[in-house]
Amino acid sequence: MTISVSSQAHIFLCAVVGGMIIGFIYDIFRIKRRTVRTRIIATNMEDLVYWLIVTLVMFIIVYYSNDGEIRGYIFAGTILGVTLYVVALSRIVMKLFLTAIKIISKILKIIWTIATYPIRLLARILRRPCKWLLRLAGKGVRGAGRIGKSRLQKVAGLKRVLKNIRKKI
């Protein structure tokens, strides 16, 4: 089956767009890795998810643009799309997203500081009375320990007496 040049150009352009989408998805994963540090296992799982998404994107592009037929120029168009995206848009997208994340994180920190201010103020007010109560409780516990120790010594003495009585019987 022959395909017209115009439909081949359409398929090629769809592959270029698909390559640009793949580049954008890669940037999303790069942004995530720069903002949230993860362990090696999580990174490997993210890589697996990335490749599954890329496979799905390519499958959809090939299926809708060329009824699922794979041609060499589809791969060439995809590589061209990824290259164009990396050269032309990747830096801009990365800067925009990272700047937006920094701004959002600063706003959230300010909101958190304002929201927790009453709790921190209450903790600061109650710090001295709590220290005084803890010190007082510590003295009480130490005193109870001394009382307990003397009682244990009495019990140990009674055990010795009972042991001696048993020996005599």
Asked whether the beta carbons of 12 and 77 are under 8 A apart, the reply is yes
The alpha carbons of the chain give a radius of gyration, in whole angstroms, of 36
Does residue 156 have a pLDDT over 70? no
Residue 154 is predicted with a pLDDT of 64
Band of residue 166 on the pLDDT scale cut at 50, 70, 90: low
Distance CA 149, CA 32 (A): 60
Instruction: Indicate the number of domains in the chain.
Output: 1
Band of residue 98 on the pLDDT scale cut at 50, 70, 90: very high
Cβ neighbours of residue 46 under 8 Å, at least 6 residues apart? 29, 32, 33, 38
Asked whether the beta carbons of 19 and 81 are under 8 A apart, the reply is yes
Distance CA 19, CA 79 (A): 6
145 is a domain residue: no
pTM for this entry? 0.68
59 is a domain residue: yes
16 is a domain residue: yes
Residue 155 is predicted with a pLDDT of 63
Q: What is the mean pLDDT of residues 86-110?
A: 95
Out of 14-23, 81-90, 133-142, pick the least confident.
Answer: 133-142
Domain carrying residue 68 = 5-88
